Amino acid sequence: MEGKLYAGEDYKKEFDPQDYLKTYYAFDSGTVAENEILKFNLKNLFQTFSSGGVGGDILIDIGSGPTIYQLLSACEAFREIIVSDYTEQNLWELEKWLKKEPGAYDWSPAVQYVCELEGDRSRCQEKEARLRRTVTRILKCDVTQPHPLAPAQVPPADCVLTLLAMECACPDADTYWAAIRRLVSLLKPGGHLVMAIALRCQSYMVGAKKFFGLPLEKETVEKAVQEAGCQVLRCEYRANKYSHFYCINEGICFLVGPQGPQGLRHPGTRGPAPEGQVTAEGQSLPTSPLKMLS
């Protein structure tokens, strides 16, 4: 085990997507703690994008990493999905799965689990095909910058989704609060911010390398979302921890935040746009094949 704590620019060279996937997303063949957190997120995503009523035209996934599990329920509720990540290697890993290339990660256990939640376990192949059709763009992102998706132009989103990413990307609380404001600025009026956060995270392992985690309390997350202009409609907390030799955290929460103090009842209310953030109203998404922007 290496002694260095990796963060920021280190991700571009030191983060190994395959090691990350094998550790945290082995599903039924993995460790109990990691599986329980994955199932917690999948259940909440299913609830949010089905009976929870969150849907529309555009979903932007910020900090997708090399994973697609977070989109398995969302692809039924949105016409188009934009995925994004800080590192090229994660984007290439995503593209491998989307294009069914050799060596792509096998997400079939997670797909089957979500299909069972939806009531039809025979839909696995149809589910994968639908997700591949729905993802239209693969973009670079950096939430510590004023324009996280620059130089790409994106339309205002009905939903911004981010799972287990912000506490890894932000070096301190001030950066975290600013980053949440930037995410909210990408929303349409009345759009939804949907998040999952590993609370009090200090670090996590990818292979033999230890990566930084920002310790956040549930109350801090809720306040940051509210200050950014969203209501906390739902915040599910569980005391689940990852296996201690993989990740040091204390609990996890899943949050749904409609923009505006009254949420969907006043969809025209917008939170403040940070640092001149441009949301590019009027821009349309390409419906043609995946486009990689670096």
Cβ 90 vs Cβ 17: under 8 Å: yes
Q: Is 19 annotated as a binding residue?
A: no
The reported pLDDT for the residue numbered 260 is 84
Q: Is 174 annotated as a binding residue?
A: no
- Contacting residues for 165 by C-beta, under 8 A, at least 6 apart: 62, 63, 64, 65, 143
Q: Is 142 annotated as a binding residue?
A: yes
- The answer to whether the bond into 66 is cis (omega within 30° of 0) is no
The reported pLDDT for the residue numbered 51 is 80
Q: Is 44 annotated as a binding residue?
A: no
Residue type, 24: Y
Q: Is 85 annotated as a binding residue?
A: yes
Q: Which residues of the chain have pLDDT under 50?
A: 1-2, 262-294
Cβ 78 vs Cβ 134: under 8 Å: yes
| 203-206/247-248 β-pairing | antiparallel
Q: What are phi and psi of 165, to 5 degrees?
A: -125, -40
The reported pLDDT for the residue numbered 52 is 77
Q: Is 86 annotated as a binding residue?
A: no
Q: Is 90 annotated as a binding residue?
A: yes
d(CA 208, CA 213): 16
d(CA 274, CA 250): 30
- Write down all domains in the chain, each with its CATH number in brackets: 5-263 (3.40.50.150)
Which tokens in the block code for residue 245?
């030799």
Q: Output the CA–CA distances (angstroms, integers) from residue 45 to 39, 48, 69, 89, 98, in the order listed.
A: 10, 5, 10, 25, 20
CA angle centred on 116, ends 233 and 55, rounded to 5°: 35
CA angle centred on 151, ends 5 and 68, rounded to 5°: 60
Exposure of 244 by Cβ count < 10 A (0-12 exposed, 13-18 middle, 19+ buried)? exposed
The reported pLDDT for the residue numbered 53 is 86
Q: Is 6 annotated as a binding residue?
A: no
Total-model pTM: 0.88
pLDDT tens digit sequence for 228-274: 999 999 999 999 999 999 999 999 999 999 998 644 333 333 333 33
The reported pLDDT for the residue numbered 121 is 85
Q: Is 111 annotated as a binding residue?
A: no
